[in-house]
Structure 1
Amino acid sequence: MSTKTPENAQPEDSDEAWRRVFLESESTLRVFMRRRLAQEADVEDCLQTVFIKSVQQGDKVPLVARRAWLFRVAANECARHWRDRSTTTRVLEKQATYESCNHHDDHLQRLVAAETAEQLQQSIQNLPDHWQAILQLRINENLTFQQIADQLQIPLGTALTQMRRALERLREDLQTQEDDASEMEQGKRQ
């Protein structure tokens, strides 16, 4: 067995030098990071990142400055963690607000559609019976106007005219109901 003397000693490998400095500083780095980070898993993640960055430095940082450099990188990693977390939180909150608004908008649209369908059904019931029959055959049974005229034993022109008048009446009724609702809403605001 030969022993190495300072004369024949090889220069220490840079990775090994960083590893040694890191291991000597690890416990105080942990304490330092625990004061800045809320969870132990975050401390471990940042500590690992500090180690990786130290090895990547190679010989760029002088040996005497490496311990201070580790703490500077640790402080930067803790700050980066909080920035990333803050950004993630803002994105998630924005997404939750967006989804909440969309859910609210979808719900509102369904309510409006249901209310409109109910108003339309009431308006149809207020139409003369022969107009209701034409609407039902055209919309519910998807018959052509010629088939409707044949089934009701009326001229084709009469079927077309009555359908047009029924639709005009429905449009007017719905517009009147919409105008009434708008007036009520404006009255509430004043």
Structure 2
Amino acid sequence: MGLRCNGGSGMTNFEELYEKYATDVLRVSYFYLGDRQRAEDVCQDVFVRLMTNAPELEEGREKAWLLKVALNRCRDLWRGAWVKRVVLGSPVFEMIPAPDEHQRRDDEEAMMVAIHKLPATFREAILLYYYQGYGISEIAEMLDLPEGTISSRLSRARKKLEQILTEGGLAS
């Protein structure tokens, strides 16, 4: 596997990159698309591209490159015809038992439906920040955007989510 990293002693091995980052790529893809099979396909596509293109990756930027490729692939799929067949109201992530499980599931499903109604740029920011736990600077690096742009997208996305949820009778 001829992967190259600048800086010499960093990860240079496809298997190491896969073991370290495949779960992150799959998780981001799943939250973005809401379909496990499509997310697995995206994950596979990302690592096939990594293996076949053997890009020159700077040490410490491997994850950012992989997630950027995954997001680009998700955008392509999201624009495709299969999205029209996805049931957005279906659960899109595993549920953790809680005291009021039914209400919590309903709230989480409503939130994911609302998130999927956002423009792609807002949806990406929300998913990466709130569901994946990345900081503004990390997201800015992944998407090659200024931090101010990410902050603005998050702010505008929160306002739009509130509007969507209020119109749906789900927010006060």
TM-score under structure 2 length normalisation = 0.39
- Which structure dedicates a bigger proportion of its chain to helix? 1
Please tell me whether Structure 1 or Structure 2 has the larger radius of gyration of its CA atoms. Answer: 1
Higher RCO (CA-CA < 8 Å; seq separation 6+): 2
